[in-house]
């Protein structure tokens, strides 16, 4: 079975429980393939948990959910060393982060200290507790969520931390037909808890490794750099996209090319992924600086003025 067919099967499978948002499923899977993390910025109740759970079930990965609160401590996430009396030594009790898919709910509710513990683990893919380093499972995907409407008592993620997410997505409300069928077909539809795996972690790891072999030619690379340069020159933007952002976009493009059954990246891939991959990396000037809609519109505007190689 080709990679494309394999991945399409996964997306189809997830779609049976997370309906009407195929694009979001594909983008999330793309991020996962590219070994990146996803920030979902959305109001509660649109199925963020369902998406994360369904994806992990379908891939046969284990899943943990972390509800972030202001009193959550790093140890609550990473794990602690406890004294075992019978063996007379410290033993590491891994925290909930030791899981393939971690849903970090309302990440902006917790303190910067806890946030940075999570984010560090995200980029390092290992956890250091008491001078001991524990590798996180592979594959490892964090899906963090933020509620864009509640600002009271939140700690917004700083730019440097946002940069660690490969994509920022927004699920949005499903369309009327989908909601209608959700209401009426409740009995017949398959609950996410019983979703069977259509793949296994080993297979998925192979897919992730194959992403690196996808060819990204000089033309697409030049295009990506054109867009990035444009963000660095735009007066609306305080600080443009970082080199980390460039690399992230390139990797996401490779993953998308693979999802579409290609062995090479085309300019369409980059054009499609520019907004989800780069918009949260812009630090805008002005009052609407941390508004998702504004940054996405700005990114789209910049991208629409850069000629795409055809």
Partner 1 sequence: MQADRLEVVHEWSLYLIVLLPVLPLVGSTVLPVVGAILFFAALVASWFTHRAGVGRQIPERAWNVVVLSFVGLGALRVMFTDTAMLDTVVQLLLILTIVKLFGRWSVRDELQVFVLSLITLAAATTLTDQLVFGVAFSAYVLAGTFALAVFHLRNEVRQRPKISFRGIPTLNRSYAMVLTGMSAVVLGASLIVFFAFPRIGLGFFAPKTRDALQMTGFSESVELGNHGVIRDNPAVVIRVEFDQRPTETANMHWRMMSFDNYDGHSWSRTLSSNKNTLPTVERDDRRKVIGLSTRQARQSMAKVYSGSGAESHLQVYLEPLGTTLVPTLWTSDSIRLGSDTVSVPFGPRSGWVKSDEYGDLHHTVADQVGLIYQLWAWEIPGSMQVDAPPRAFLQMPDFSNRFKPFADSIAPGAEDPKAIADGIKEHLQQNYTYTTDLPEVGTSPVESFLFETRRGHCEYFATSATLLLRERGIPARIVNGFLGGSWNSVGNFLAVRQGDAHTWVEYFDTKRGWVMLDPTPASLIDPMASGLDTARQYYDALTLFWTKWIIEYDLNSQIDVFRRLATSFNSPSVSKETKPDDDSTPEPLTWGPWALALASLVLGWMFGSTMGKSRRDVRWHALGVILLSMAGGATGWALFSMSASFASAVNVWIGAGFAWVRRPAVSPLDKAWFIVERAAKNAGIERAMDEGPDHFLDRIAQWMPDNTAQLAAFKSKYLAARFGAQQKQHDLVEAAARLAKIISEHAKTGRQ
Of 212, 217, 225, 244, which lies in the binding site for partner 1, with binding defined by CB under 8 A? 217
Return the number of the residue (31 or 257) whose C-beta is nearest partner 1: 257
Is 215 near partner 1 (CB under 8 A)? yes
The CA distance from 211 to 196, in Å, is 25
In the bound complex, what is the minimum distance in angstroms from residue 289's beta carbon to partner 1?
A: 25
Taking CB under 8 A as the binding criterion, the range among 111-119, 184-192, 197-205, 216-224 that sits at the site for partner 1 is 216-224
The tokens of 209 are what? 């490794």
Return the number of the residue (167 or 270) whose C-beta is nearest partner 1: 270
Is 78 near partner 1 (CB under 8 A)? no
Is 266 near partner 1 (CB under 8 A)? yes
Of 24, 127, 265, 275, which lies in the binding site for partner 1, with binding defined by CB under 8 A? 265
First to last CA, the chain: 30
Strands annotated E in the chain: 38-41, 63-67, 79-84, 89-94, 101-105, 126-129, 132-135, 141-146, 167-169, 237-239, 283-284
In the bound complex, what is the minimum distance in angstroms from residue 256's beta carbon to partner 1?
A: 11
Comparing CA positions, the residue from 70, 68, 77, 120 lying closest to residue 98 is 77
Of 220, 230, 249, 252, which lies in the binding site for partner 1, with binding defined by CB under 8 A? 220
Return the number of the residue (196 or 213) whose C-beta is nearest partner 1: 213
Return the number of the residue (161 or 295) whose C-beta is nearest partner 1: 295
Is 191 near partner 1 (CB under 8 A)? no
H/E run at residue 50 = helix 48-59
The CA distance from 256 to 230, in Å, is 23
The phi-psi region of residue 140 (left if phi > 0; otherwise alpha if psi is between -120 and 50; otherwise beta) is beta
In the bound complex, what is the minimum distance in angstroms from residue 270's beta carbon to partner 1?
A: 8
Of 15, 219, 290, 291, which lies in the binding site for partner 1, with binding defined by CB under 8 A? 219
The CA distance from 170 to 292, in Å, is 9
Size of the site for partner 1 (CB under 8 A): 23
Write the DSSP symbol of residue 157.
P
Catalog residues that contact partner 1 under the rule CB under 8 A: 215, 217, 219-220, 262-272, 303-310
């Amino acid at each position: 079975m080709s990679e494309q067919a394999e991945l399409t099967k996964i997306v189809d499978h997830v779609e049976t429980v997370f309906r009407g948002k195929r694009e979001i499923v594909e983008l999330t899977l793309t991020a996962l393939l590219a070994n990146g993390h996803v920030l979902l910025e959305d109001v509660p109740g649109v199925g963020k948990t369902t998406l994360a759970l369904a994806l992990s079930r379908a891939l046969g990965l284990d899943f943990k959910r972390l509800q972030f609160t202001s009193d959550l401590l790093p140890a609550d996430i990473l794990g602690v060393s406890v004294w075992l009396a019978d063996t007379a030594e410290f033993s590491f009790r891994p925290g909930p982060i030791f899981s393939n898919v971690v849903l970090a709910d309302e990440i902006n509710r917790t303190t910067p200290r806890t946030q940075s513990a999570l984010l560090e683990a995200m980029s390092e893919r290992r956890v250091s507790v008491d001078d001991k380093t524990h590798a996180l499972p592979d594959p490892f995907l964090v899906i963090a969520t933020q509620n864009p409407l509640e600002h009271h008592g939140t700690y917004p993620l700083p730019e440097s931390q946002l940069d660690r997410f490969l994509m920022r997505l927004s699920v949005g409300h499903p369309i009327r037909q989908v909601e209608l069928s959700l209401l009426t077909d409740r009995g017949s539809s398959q609950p996410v808890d019983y979703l069977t795996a259509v793949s296994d972690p080993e297979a998925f790891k192979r897919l992730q490794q194959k992403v690196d072999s996808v060819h990204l030619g000089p033309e697409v690379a030049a295009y990506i750099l054109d867009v990035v340069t444009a963000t660095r020159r735009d007066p609306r933007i305080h600080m443009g996209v970082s080199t980390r952002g460039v690399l992230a976009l390139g990797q996401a493009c490779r993953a998308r090319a693979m999802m579409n059954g290609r062995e090479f990246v085309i300019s369409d891939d980059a054009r499609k992924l520019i907004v989800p991959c780069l918009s949260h990396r812009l630090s805008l000037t002005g009052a609407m600086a941390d508004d998702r809609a504004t940054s996405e519109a700005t990114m789209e505007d910049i991208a629409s003025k850069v000629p795409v190689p055809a």
